[in-house]
A and B are shown apart, each in its own frame.
Chain A
Amino acid sequence: MSSQKILVVTVMRLGDTFQHLNLIGSIQKKHGFDSTIDMVVTDYSEQLIELKGHPSLDAIRKFFSIPYSKWQKELTSRYLSIDKKIQDLLRISESLSRENYDFVYNLSNTDFSYRLLDLVESKNVVGAYYRQGKATYSSSKVKLFLDEYGFTRSSYRLSLVEALANSLDLQIPTKTILARRSLNKKPKVLFQVTTSDQKKKLTYSKWKDVFRLIQNQCQIEVLSSASEFADLQTEFLGYAHVKSLTIKECFSYLNSVDLVVSLDTSILHLAALNGINCLGVFLGSGHKDLTAPFVENAKLISAKSDCYPCSHSQACSQSSHLCEQSLTADEITKGILSSLSSRNENRVLDVSPNDWANQSGL
């Protein structure tokens, strides 16, 4: 079999894209390790283009980026022209068609991705797509997956990435934790306390209560973007050390961390991708069944209010943030301490990134 050209389409947010990277190894295994894999991402997730040192990322030959968030913003602008965006989209789709891919995998469950694939010429498409304006599925399993996961429910049997893998006949690797020998005297816990979605947030005062409860046992660090650094530093002065890191810096920094505690954000999935011990705190539309971090022993804490989980696209329907109120600082603290103790039970592996594929059964 001659080497095949594969395109993977993941036009979603950064966290979803990190989860999709779990499927790259399986695509390689299916089409041969000499196959070339390119990836279409959006500007929401183009920071991952800079990342190196993970087998799934290193397997990608070329990235194509679609200025999705820019277009979304411009499409609601009062003054900007639509014609230019049409031309830009056609230019991107033509450059993809010129690559003459043997297989295109659509890992995104968005209408835009299906429409994009109507513009890209390829020999085979795996997943859902439009062909000459008609919704098309590469198999009945894909349609079943979209029917089942197309709307919010209270519980799901499989996480989104597991169900997606099943529908595309891909094997998802065994969840792995590459526990590292900690060099820290006190375990280092990195917190991601902010998210762009208000519904998924825990109040800063609750985080401070948590920090107060664990400060004797742990080194506490709060992750920040450059834009929120000054605010977070003022807010958590005396409670935690605030670190401003880019995604690229964070990717390598995570190796020195014993536990990542995060709301439902891309950092949680980046930590999981790196095999770091995680504790996810799920509120609002952050669905713990759907988007749990794909790593062994990850612990999840979720809201207990009746309205949880709510829909992604709507604002909180309650008079107060009930799901946030349903979680106490004690519960989160217990989760952290339990995650740190289970860390010590993990088998410590000294593995290089190149061994990762073998370790995970690929």
Chain B
Amino acid sequence: MLEPRLIKEKKSYSSLRNPAKEISAWLAETLPHVPKDARIAVLGLGDGQHIRQLLNMGYINLSVLEFDPWVISCFETFHKDLLESYPSFRVHRLYGHSYFEDDFSGYDYFLPFRSCWHNNAKIFSELYSCLMSQGSILNYHQNLEISDQSKKAKAIRALVSMGLKSGVK
């Protein structure tokens, strides 16, 4: 069976030459860091082939974060079987910059699949740097008001003080 390939505004959501190689390279780079029972969020849905591979490899506590409703509806059409076969698998739709209001604390790992970010690269990068440990902690910290004495703000300051090389005091 031919695998669906998404192209929008002349941009492909996966490698045109060798999508399988692109996914294997991504998996090889990413997976050594990730235990199978981890709660994973993949940033970017794209053609969905990388998601299919992850689920088939046993990474079932999986969600995908995606901004583009068209990509989501394509996925629901072409990969309906995944949504039916893996009950813990979710597609988490994000609405522009309001993602700052979403709660991401349920995830252990955030895996960026950059090849499919083309049309939303800027906002995906922002989201990723916000969620990423070091980027996120510095972002959070830099955006903290000095007067913010909420418990969360204090916890962030404590974590920043743990000797991060680029940590700010």
B154/A118 in contact, CB under 8 A: yes
Closest to B33 in A: A79
B105/A83 in contact, CB under 8 A: yes
Please name all residues of chain B whose beta carbon is closer than 8 Å to the beta carbon of A84 when the two chains form the complex: 105, 107-108
Please name all residues of chain B whose beta carbon is closer than 8 Å to the beta carbon of A111 when the two chains form the complex: 161, 169
8 residue pairs A–B, Cβ–Cβ below 8 Å:
A75-B134, A79-B132, A80-B110, A81-B108, A86-B105, A90-B151, A115-B158, A115-B161
A86-B133 contact given A79-B30, A80-B109, CB 8 Å threshold: no
Q: How far is the CA of A112 from the CA of B133 in the complex (A)?
A: 17
Q: How far is the CA of A69 from the CA of B163 in the complex (A)?
A: 10
Q: How far is the CB of A301 from chain B (nearest CB, A)?
A: 30
A115/B154 in contact, CB under 8 A: yes
**Does any Cβ of B come within 8 Å of A71's Cβ?**
yes
* B86-100 CB contacts (< 8 Å) to partner A: none
A78-B162 contact given A87-B105, A90-B155, CB 8 Å threshold: no
Please name all residues of chain A whose beta carbon is closer than 8 Å to the beta carbon of B30 when the two chains form the complex: 79
> What secondary structure prevails in chain B residues at the interface with A?
mixed
Q: How far is the CA of A114 from the CA of B155 in the complex (A)?
A: 11
Closest to A133 in B: B149
Q: How far is the CA of A204 from the CA of B154 in the complex (A)?
A: 46
**Does any Cβ of B come within 8 Å of A82's Cβ?**
yes
A86/B109 in contact, CB under 8 A: no
Please name all residues of chain A whose beta carbon is closer than 8 Å to the beta carbon of B105 when the two chains form the complex: 81, 83-84, 86-87
**Does any Cβ of B come within 8 Å of A329's Cβ?**
no
* A99-124 CB contacts (< 8 Å) to partner B: 110-112, 114-116, 118-119
Listed in ascending order, the chain B residues whose CB lies under 8 Å from chain A are: 30, 33-34, 103-105, 107-111, 131-134, 136-137, 140, 146-147, 149, 151-152, 154-159, 161-165, 169
B159/A133 in contact, CB under 8 A: no
Please name all residues of chain B whose beta carbon is closer than 8 Å to the beta carbon of A74 when the two chains form the complex: 133
Q: How far is the CA of A86 from the CA of B151 in the complex (A)?
A: 9
A79-B109 contact given A86-B156, A115-B161, A133-B149, CB 8 Å threshold: yes
Q: How far is the CA of A82 from the CA of B158 in the complex (A)?
A: 12
Can you name 14 extra interface pairs (CB under 8 A) apart from A81-B108, A116-B158? A72-B164, A77-B33, A78-B133, A79-B34, A79-B109, A81-B109, A81-B133, A84-B105, A84-B108, A111-B169, A114-B161, A119-B154, A133-B147, A133-B154
Please name all residues of chain B whose beta carbon is closer than 8 Å to the beta carbon of A130 when the two chains form the complex: 154
A119-B155 contact given A75-B137, A78-B132, A83-B104, CB 8 Å threshold: yes
* A38-77 CB contacts (< 8 Å) to partner B: 68, 71-72, 74-77
B149/A132 in contact, CB under 8 A: yes
Please name all residues of chain B whose beta carbon is closer than 8 Å to the beta carbon of A80 when the two chains form the complex: 108-110, 133
B111/A79 in contact, CB under 8 A: yes
Select the residue from B108, B162, B165 with max chain A CB neighbours within 10 A.
B162
Closest to B151 in A: A90
**Does any Cβ of B come within 8 Å of A85's Cβ?**
yes
Please name all residues of chain A whose beta carbon is closer than 8 Å to the beta carbon of B169 when the two chains form the complex: 111
Q: How far is the CB of B168 from chain A (nearest CB, A)?
A: 11
Instruction: Identify B131's interface contact among A68, A82, A110, A132, CB under 8 A.
Output: A82
Please name all residues of chain B whose beta carbon is closer than 8 Å to the beta carbon of A118 when the two chains form the complex: 154, 157-158
Q: How far is the CA of A72 from the CA of B108 in the complex (A)?
A: 15
Instruction: Identify A86's interface contact among B110, B131, B149, B159, CB under 8 A.
Output: B159
Closest to A81 in B: B107
Q: How far is the CA of A242 from the CA of B109 in the complex (A)?
A: 41
Select the residue from B103, B146, B152 with max chain A CB neighbours within 10 A.
B152
Q: How far is the CB of A293 from chain B (nearest CB, A)?
A: 26
Please name all residues of chain A whose beta carbon is closer than 8 Å to the beta carbon of B146 when the two chains form the complex: 133
Please name all residues of chain B whose beta carbon is closer than 8 Å to the beta carbon of A83 when the two chains form the complex: 103-105, 107, 131
B134/A112 in contact, CB under 8 A: no
**Does any Cβ of B come within 8 Å of A307's Cβ?**
no
A112/B158 in contact, CB under 8 A: yes
Closest to B136 in A: A82
Instruction: Identify A71's interface contact among B149, B151, B154, B162, CB under 8 A.
Output: B162
Q: How far is the CB of B44 from chain A (nearest CB, A)?
A: 14
**Does any Cβ of B come within 8 Å of A247's Cβ?**
no
B134/A76 in contact, CB under 8 A: yes
Q: How far is the CA of A226 from the CA of B151 in the complex (A)?
A: 41
Q: How far is the CA of A132 from the CA of B108 in the complex (A)?
A: 30
Please name all residues of chain B whose beta carbon is closer than 8 Å to the beta carbon of A93 when the two chains form the complex: 151, 155
Q: How far is the CB of A13 from chain B (nearest CB, A)?
A: 12
Closest to B103 in A: A83
Instruction: Identify B163's interface contact among A72, A77, A82, A119, CB under 8 A.
Output: A72
**Does any Cβ of B come within 8 Å of A213's Cβ?**
no
